[in-house]
Every structure is written in structure tokens, then in C-alpha cells.
Amino acid sequence: MLNQPRYTVLATASLLMIGSPAGAAESSGEAVYAKYCASCHDQTGARIPARSALMNLSPARILRTLDFGAMMSIAYPIRRDEREAVARFLGHGPEDAPPPPSAFCQTDVPIMNGAAKASWAGWSPDASNARFQDTENAGLTASDIPNLRLKWAYAFAGDVTAFGAPAILNGTLFTGSAGGTVQALDGKTGCIHWLYQANGPVRSGMAVVRENGRTTLVFSDQNGWTHAVDAKTGKPRWRKRPEEHEATRLTGTPAEFNGVVFVPAASWEETRSIDPEYPCCTFRGSITAMRASDGAVLWKTYLVDQPKRTGKTAAGTPTFGPSGAGVWSRPTVDPARGLLYVTTGDNYSHPATTTSDAVMALNVKTGQIVWSHQMTPADVYNSACGAKAVNCPANNGPDYDFGSSAVLVRTMAGKDILLAGQKSGVVYAFDPDQDGKLLWQTRVGRGGTNGGVQWGMATDGRRLYAAVSDVVRLPPPPGAAGDASHPVGPVGNATLAPDKGGGITALDLITGEKLWSAPAQACAPPRPGCSPAQPGAVTAIPGVVFSGSMDGHIRAFSTAGGQTLWDFDTEKDFTTVNGAPAHGGSLDGAGPVVAGGMVFVNSGYPRFGGAPGNVLLAFGVN
């Protein structure tokens, strides 16, 4: 007998009403449609669905398409309240059907009933963000890797992006999705224990909080909400906005320490700036310390000062600054020193600050900034620059954010080192015992707006492994409309060079010396959305480092010399355990997760020109 579906799903109407921060102005869906949508959807064209077709969709489906679906590149400048308004205005169709009863776990498959060692909590197995799993917890050795086989596939129904960062607890997998659904799945079979609907796309991983015999998952969504749910039941404990700015975007996994979660905040404002009427820019990156039991704010640290009006654009729109310095990744907890390390993004508008493109240390109890080192001064950039629009600041760029977490590691010699990889293509090492004194820096890639180290490195205590994106966009084909902010191609993709970008490098932790480099493999055959770039986070176990690529391949490399041990092409159709259609695509964002003899990989990422996809893949050897 099957369990009754054990899930918590917010009603669609409520989801559309609570997505915006308190006090947001009510938007007219009809006006939003006229401004952004009518010029295409009120016309007749073979590739563009007419307004009448859109009215057959549900509001939730339309909203999901705007958030991270086929229309995401067009929707970048549209505020959240405007997206919700146009979804309500257009959508009159039925809601999507829930998963069939056969997709849910049977009563003899209890949740979190596996071995405790079959775990990967949050962005990394521990607070160091090293993305390294030892042999006992990995349940795999280097000799097992060539024998990995696909065990099951799970479809994120209706999505075109698979970017959630999975967590594994005692054999149960928890992951978010572009559609905003958080899934609790059995790690061995992929059956569903429960589903929870967040307020928007969930890219962040799960902070795991264990208190009084209860396990709570804390995660964030891309519309600015942080959620706490019971890990066993999926029932909500609390839901709050740590930052009230309309354009708040929460992508980084919260860090946890002593019953407190530290929530990093970044922003959609960088892309809002494409709209010439948008007053750029007022968002301030921040870290918020929240009590895990009830979400109460214990302290909050902004990383730039309160913005002030600075003038106006050539179009007459007011300008503001300073802004930006968002935190895209999970903070790194250093219990021994009582510090929290964060890496920051660029400024969106002038004046430039000394806290953008920086590695910083905050007091874990108070949030006070203890030290800060800026690696790229005066990096003021927003998406209007790619579009050559009026909100682009003067003397802009080079857009060298830190998108990946700092990594705290103890070397084999017993010395602690703090490591950070930047979009510039440079990796830095700092001494946490000397207020972050720079120890060495090594270039591992060319770097660029979509280049360098993007989402995460890994270390085994002997070597550091850093993959780079360095994706190359080709000019739009003749007659095609497109630019850096509105790229062309399938699902809004740019045309990518099939033979440029990517590569993975191993560095000596003590000296920063390059020990080996494995070059990227060109797309074969070249095809839309295909690039050898490797922007996703990498993952290591003893003897092996895993890295995904925008060509859809997940590969395992020997840590001794970079030889390829295993290669699986995910860009294909899959039969899924939940019965929904699934296809793999580019690999980006959260890297593979290894626990309990299994390797879990999300496939599908069209946002920066890659191939769409909507599948979670589980590999094993038994």
C-alpha cells in the first residue's frame, strides 16, 4: 500500500500574493503585459504563442516561465510584483497535476532511515566549504568510479533549469528546483517522501539544524524568502524575508553554527538595470544572522553604506549609490577564531566601495567586520552595460565578482589556509591567523563576465582543484536580434563557441604552484547551447575530482594527474521515477554531491547560453 502523499504545497493564489515584500506597490497586470509582452504575443507567429494560448496556462506556470523558464531573459528587468500581476492577468488554465501516487515512497521506506555516514549537509559536507567527502562517507573509492552507472532519474516537471544544491541526510536527498518546489527523495530509489512549495525558485542548498531531537532544514528562495521546514515531514516552521529590498535574490546556502543560520543576500537589481526607467541602484549586500528555531534576527551587517541620490541618467532617471557587493555563496564558519568568512560581488553603481569583490571576515557573534581585502578595486558594473543602456555606469567593469564560497582548509602540515576563487580567473590564499594576509595568488583561467572560477572549488588538504568557465559567446547570426543581456537562440540562449573555455587545474596548497591542468574537451558535435566551459562547482573524494561542463558531461578526473576516469553525457532524454518527461542539458551552478555510495548530479542550465534541462541523476556501482 502506498503512503498518502505527504507534502505541503501553498495554494497558487497565496503563492502569488505573498511573493512580494510588504509595502510593494500594486501592479496592473494589463499594463505590464502591454509594456513587456504585447508586442510579441499579440502578433501572429509560428514560434510565439498567442495571447489566447497563454490564457490556457495556469498563473503558476506563467510565473515559473518568467522566473526560470523560456522567457527568463526577457523578464530580467521585470519586478517580482509585476511578474505576479501579469501571471494573474493572463493565467486562467488549470493548475499542473501533482505527481502520481506511484511516485511516492511506500510505507516500508521511512525517511532518513539510512546510515548517518550517508550524508552531505548543505553546500559542503562541513562548514569549511571544502566540498570534500572522505572515503567512509563517500562510500566510493577511485577504483569504483569507472563502474558508475545510472540508477534513477527524477524530473523537475515543467522546468528548463535544474540548479538546486542537493543535501543528503541519512540516505534521504533534499533539493530545491526552479519551479520553487523542494523535494525530499529516497536516495536509493528516488521515490518522494514529501514536497514543499516555496515562494520562488530555490537554488540554495539546505542548512541542517539539529536541536532537541528535531532536524530542521533552512533554505532560501530567489524571491527573497528564507524558509525553515521540518526535515521529516516537510511541514513549515517559519518563513521570513531577511532583506526587504524588492530585488533581493537569495542564492547562497545559509551557514549554520550553534543554532544560528547566517543568510547571505544578493540581488536581481543588476539585471533590473536594463530597464532605462529603473532608478539604479539601491540594493546593499548583507549577511543576516537568524535564530534557527524561530527566524528571529540576531544581527544584520550591510556590506555597503546607505545609498544616496547621485544624479540622473541621460534619460532623466534618478541614479543612486553606493550599491551591490552582494553575497552569492554560503558563508564559511571558522569556530576556532569565532569568524564568518564571506566573498562579495561587484558594485552596481558609483561610488565604488572597498567592500566589493572582496574576501571579508565578520565576528560570528556580532556581525562586526574584522578584516576585509578587496581583490579588484572600482569594479562597478550592471547588466545595462552588456545592453549598452543608459543605466550602465561610467568606467564600468570588469565584473569580477566572487561567486564561490571561501574555503577554509588545514593542510597536511597542520597550517590553516583560507582560499578564494574569482571570476577574474585568479585563485587567492590568505592566512586566517594574520588578518587575512595574502599568501599567494595563481591564475587558473582567462576570466571575464562569465569567466574564471564561478561557483566553487574543492580541496583534499593536499591540493586545491579549480575549474573555470571562460565561456566564449559568438556574435549573433546575421538578422538575429540579441545582445549580452537579451541573448538569442533556444530558450533565449546566446551562440557559444564550441571549442573555447573550460579546464580544471590542481594547485599546491602551500605554494599555489600548478601541479597539473586538464584542458576542456571541445563539443562533439558542435550544437546550440554547447560549450566546453566548466562554471559549476567541483567536488572531491580521495583520488577523484568531479566536474561538470556546459556540454552536458559530468566527468571524474584523477587527482594525481588529471586523467579522465569517467565520463557521462547527460544531454539526452531520461525515463524518470516520477513519470514526468526529462531531458538533460548543460551543467552549471551546484556541483555533484557524493554520499553513501551514490553520486547525484543536476542537469540543465540555459541562463548564460547553455542547454536547457530538468533532471536529477543518481549514479552508483551496486
Give Rg (Cα) of the chain. 23
Q: How many CB atoms lie within 10 A of CB 590?
A: 29
Q: What is the pLDDT of residue 2?
A: 30
Q: What is the pLDDT of residue 24?
A: 44
Question: At residue 356, does pLDDT exceed 60?
Answer: yes
- Which set of grid coordinates corresponds to residue 534? 566548466
For strand 286-291 and strand 308-312, is the pairing parallel, antiparallel, or unpaired? unpaired
For strand 573-574 and strand 226-230, is the pairing parallel, antiparallel, or unpaired? unpaired
Q: What is the pLDDT of residue 46?
A: 57
**Cβ contact 620:169 at 8 Å:** no
Strands (E), 385-499: 407-410, 416-421, 426-431, 437-443, 458-459, 463-467
**Cβ contact 275:77 at 8 Å:** yes
In the block, cell 587558473 appears at: 444
Question: At residue 252, does pLDDT exceed 90?
Answer: yes
Q: How far apart are CA 6 and CA 109, in angstroms?
A: 13
Compute the average pLDDT of residues 605-613.
Answer: 88
Strands (E), 485-609: 504-508, 514-518, 539-541, 544-548, 553-558, 564-569, 573-574, 582-583, 593-595, 598-603
Q: How far apart are CA 57 and CA 50, in angstroms?
A: 12
pLDDT in tens, 531-540: 999 999 999 9
For strand 192-197 and strand 207-211, is the pairing parallel, antiparallel, or unpaired? unpaired
Least confident among 5-9, 46-50, 190-194, 336-340: 5-9
Q: Per-domain residue ranges for the chain?
A: 10-98, 99-473+495-620
517: β partners: 505
DSSP string, 392-423: SPTT-B------S--EEEE-TTS-EEEEEE-T
Compute the average pLDDT of residues 222-237.
Answer: 96
The DSSP call for residue 103 is G
In the block, cell 500581476 appears at: 85
Collapsed DSSP state (helix, strand, coil) of residue 63: helix
Q: How sure is the predictor about 45, in pLDDT bands with cuts at 50, 70 and 90?
A: low
- Please state the three-class secondary structure of 108-134 as a single string: CCCCCCCCCCCCECCCCCCCCCCCECC
**Cβ contact 324:332 at 8 Å:** no
Q: How sure is the predictor about 527, in pLDDT bands with cuts at 50, 70 and 90?
A: confident
Q: What is the pLDDT of residue 33?
A: 85
Collapsed DSSP state (helix, strand, coil) of residue 517: strand
Is the backbone peptide bond immediately before 528 cis, with ω within 30 degrees of 0? no
Choice between 389 and 7, residue whose per-residue pLDDT is larger: 389
User: CA 62 → CA 116, 224, 267, distances in Å?
Assistant: 40, 19, 22
**Cβ contact 438:413 at 8 Å:** no
Is the backbone peptide bond immediately before 351 cis, with ω within 30 degrees of 0? yes
Q: How far apart are CA 437 and CA 412, in angstroms?
A: 20
Highest mean pLDDT among 19-23, 83-87, 514-518: 514-518
Question: At residue 118, does pLDDT exceed 90?
Answer: no
Q: Which CATH code fits 99-473+495-620?
A: 2.140.10.10
Strands (E), 130-186: 149-155, 167-169, 172-175, 181-186
Say how many CA atoms lie within 13 Å of 513 toward its Cβ.
5
Q: How many CB atoms lie within 10 A of CB 143?
A: 11
**Cβ contact 404:442 at 8 Å:** no
Q: What is the pLDDT of residue 484?
A: 41
Question: At residue 477, does pLDDT exceed 70?
Answer: no
Q: How far apart are CA 99 and CA 551, in angstroms?
A: 30
Q: What is the pLDDT of residue 22?
A: 42
pLDDT in tens, 448-475: 999 999 999 999 999 999 999 999 988 7
Collapsed DSSP state (helix, strand, coil) of residue 501: coil
Q: How far apart are CA 336 and CA 571, in angstroms?
A: 44
- Which set of grid coordinates corresponds to residue 30? 494589463
Q: How far apart are CA 530 and CA 523, in angstroms?
A: 6
Q: What is the pLDDT of residue 395?
A: 93
Q: How many CB atoms lie within 10 A of CB 384?
A: 27
Question: At residue 15, does pLDDT exceed 50?
Answer: no
Q: How far apart are CA 499 and CA 363, in angstroms?
A: 45
For strand 339-343 and strand 358-363, is the pairing parallel, antiparallel, or unpaired? antiparallel
Q: What is the pLDDT of residue 480?
A: 52
Q: What is the pLDDT of residue 318?
A: 96
- Which set of grid coordinates corresponds to residue 619? 549514479
In the block, cell 536527498 appears at: 173
Q: What is the pLDDT of residue 19?
A: 42
Q: How far apart are CA 201 and CA 162, in angstroms?
A: 10
Mean pLDDT of the chain: 90
CATH 3.40.1170.10, domain 10-98, yes or no: no
Question: At residue 14, does pLDDT exceed 90?
Answer: no
Q: How far apart are CA 164 and CA 616, in angstroms?
A: 9
Q: How sure is the predictor about 406, in pLDDT bands with cuts at 50, 70 and 90?
A: very high
pLDDT in tens, 272-281: 999 999 999 9
- Which set of grid coordinates corresponds to residue 557? 578526473
- Please state the three-class secondary structure of 213-245 as a single string: CEEEEEEECCCCCEEEEECCCCCEEEEECCCCC
Specify burial of residue 434 (Cβ count, 10 A radius: 0-12, 13-18, 19+): exposed
- The reply to whether 99-473+495-620 shares the fold of 10-98 is no
